[in-house]
Amino acid sequence: MQHYIFKFLFFFSFALFLVFSACTPDSEPDFLIAKELLNESYGADVKQNMDVYLPSGRTQAETPLLIYIHGGGWIDGDKSEFLQVKPILESQFPGYAFASLNYRLYDFATGNNGIIEQEKDIIRAFEYIESKLGAWNISNDFVISGASAGGHLALLHAYKNNTSDLKAAVVFFPPTELSELYKFNNFTALGLTALLGGTPATASKNYQDTSPISHIDSKDVPTIFFHGDQDTVVPISQSQLLEQKLKSEKVRYQFTVVQGQGHGFTPATNIALLKEAKEFIGEF
């Protein structure tokens, strides 16, 4: 009898060993838990980093990625801006992964990191993301988004430098035509002169090359954008110029004028607008 008990305990113990060996830390569980990758570096500079938020149950076949670029007039701001809308995005875009990008900011003391360098940062960030799709278990279906200067950089990448499978652009009060923006007020003129190495008269190529509407053609990504009619930082005429160009090139778009609001919207407005955005994008 003891012999049979011993054999039973032996085989039971061996079976348990096999079960737990299959669940070692080195093996990937079938159902992936949510994960946050903070300050993920995509370059040598301290500002070249991103926060990545991966949902539970993600797969390379069915988990799109929304990439957000913060605002701040190209001289200020941080990827933590994304946290203001993260809960709304998670509710309106269920099943998505998110990445919030930092980029090098303009330094008035040295004259470094103007818009042209920031444009290169966004390209580099996308290259890094593309290299991590397998490790992160997400698909290459991307949506690009941003607000203010971040909206400008998002559109510039979408229309000029897009080599990814971008499904849509979602932007808030974006600068779109920098020669026209230069005329808005003295503060804007001084800032753009520094950021682009001259005025529209002395550095016209820089203004044209970094203006998103200069690069729009009929093959560009569907674009939804929002602008307050009381915006005193980026005039609504910038979005109106964008609408005219998208319409003339027959690019699918949706433009929502937010009545009575300026450069930044209320939480309730953001909920409504991001719901609009998800409906505009649809399912892939």
**Cα distances (angstroms) measured from residue 243 to each of 58, 117, 237, 283:** 35, 27, 10, 24
pLDDT in the model for residue 26: 42
pLDDT greater than 60 at residue 2: no
Ranges assigned E (strand) in 104-249 = 141-147, 165-172, 223-228
Cβ-proximal residues to 170 (8 Å cutoff; 6+ apart), any chain: 66, 143, 144, 145, 223, 224, 225, 274, 277, 281
**Mean pLDDT confidence for 16-25:** 41
Query: What residues does 141 pair with on adjacent strands?
Result: 165
Match 């569980």 to its residue by tokens.
29
| Residue at 247: amino acid letter | K
Grade residue 284 by pLDDT with cuts at 50, 70 and 90.
confident
Q: What is the pLDDT of residues 230-253, one digit of tens each?
A: 999 999 999 999 999 999 999 999
pLDDT greater than 60 at residue 176: yes
H or E segment and range at residue 211: none
Q: Are strands 35-41 and 49-54 parallel, antiparallel or unpaired?
A: antiparallel
Q: What is the pTM of this model?
A: 0.89
Comparing 24-38, 119-133, 214-228, 238-252, which segment has the lowest mean pLDDT?
24-38
